[in-house]
Amino acid sequence: MEILLRLDSPTWLVRAAAVCRRWLRRASDPAFLGRFRALCPPRILGLHVQSGSCAPRFLAVPQPLDLAAASRRALQVLTPSVGTHRFRSAYLWDCRNGRLLVKIYDWPDGVYIVRSLLNQVPDVTLPAPPEPNEFFKGCRSKRMLLLEDDGDVTSCLSLTLSIDAPEVLAEFSILQSGVWGILQRAEIELEMVSGEGLPLQIMHSQKLVVGKKLYMLTYKFILALDLSTNSFFIVNLPDGPGNNTLSHAEQSGLYLINVREFELRIWYVAMCLVSYVM
């Protein structure tokens, strides 16, 4: 087993497992795979960049030879001539676990597709999401986010935020097995100082879905929406307002990353207790 743990990539592990049945049994053991993943975490192939109205671009990260093919595939999926649809006029909504959620504007009303970064499979066109309630004053924004891939690559969240300070209204629906669920609603009244930019912050905030919860990062706190109970709650920042960003954790939960001058601080936000671990 120690020999297999010294391999530095999953590609070499697959090749080693083909050597003999004994190594195959070792490489298939869940306990071994847990140790191997801890020593060889998933690699970042690159970054997808969306700048204004320009087509999304993929910036590849240098890779060893055994991952070069996967990196080339990720680079090709955003070129205009590859795939079922062209990206001449498109917006990249989300990227998660090797899947891209893209809105194509070349069609009369626009269409959402899910595209695989690593597998040579056709694009999956999503049905149009349900329309939100039109009778609401204030500012409004729409967002589409991919959910965790539990065997359904098209599973995603359609969210419409409407804000008429101090009230925040969320209308959302979840796509599962190709069918949109009933439009759900959640409301919260926030404490806001007259003239502050919190409503605009919420509209354009970074948004992450972890499990059945949606997290929206503002400069004052994290506004969270529980998709299973249709309710909002607030997660206070551990060190007050600052230059923060959110990132998915490998298993569950998320990371809060703070930059202050030359200091980088990372907190793990545990979902079960909504608490921080630095």
pLDDT per position as a tens digit, 31-48? 888 888 888 877 777 776
For the chain, what is the domain count?
Answer: 3
Higher-pLDDT residue of 275 and 93 is 93
Candidates 236, 210, 240, 247; CA nearest to 225 is 210
What does the block give as tokens for 162? 């409407």
Q: Is residue 132 part of a domain?
A: no
Q: Which of 84, 102, 125 is the last residue of a domain?
A: 125
Provide the pLDDT for residue 154.
87
Same domain, 247 and 160: yes
At residue 275, the pLDDT reads: 53
Residues 151 and 193 in one domain: yes
Residues 253 and 190 in one domain: yes
**Together in a domain, 226 and 252:** yes
Considering the chain, what percentage of its residues have pLDDT values greater than 90?
14
pLDDT at 10: 79
In a domain? residue 133 = no
Query: Does residue 107 share a domain with residue 157?
Result: no
> Taking residues 106-126, what's their average pLDDT?
77
Pair (16, 98) in one structural domain: no
Tokens (6 digits) for 201: 């912050």
pLDDT tens column, 240-252 = 667 888 888 876 7
Looking at residue 181, its pLDDT comes to 93
Claim to verify: residue 247 and residue 181 sit in the same structural domain: yes
* 121 and 8 assigned to the same domain: no
Q: Is residue 134 part of a domain?
A: no
Whether residues 233 and 160 fall in one domain: yes
Q: Which amino acid is at 165?
A: A
Verify that 119 and 146 share a domain, yes or no. Answer: no
Residue 242 lies inside a defined structural domain of this protein = yes
| 163 within some domain | yes
Residue 225, pLDDT > 80, answer yes
pLDDT band at 82 (very low <50, low <70, confident <90, very high): very low
Q: What are phi and psi of 102, to 5 degrees?
A: -130, 140
271 pLDDT more than 70? no
Residues 34 and 90 in one domain: no
Same domain, 27 and 68: no
pLDDT higher at 87 or 272: 272
CA distance 84 to 123: 6
* Least confident residue range of 3-12, 88-97, 174-183, 198-207: 88-97
Q: How far is CA 94 from the centre of its chain?
A: 6
In the predicted model, what is the mean pLDDT of residues 124-138? 81
Range of the domain at 35: 2-39
| pLDDT recorded at residue 83 | 44
Task: Look at 57 and 92; give whichever has higher pLDDT.
Answer: 92
Question: Tell me, what's the pLDDT at 22?
Answer: 87
Among 11-15, 139-143, 180-184, name the most confident range.
Answer: 180-184
Residue 83 lies inside a defined structural domain of this protein: yes
In a domain, 175, yes or no: yes
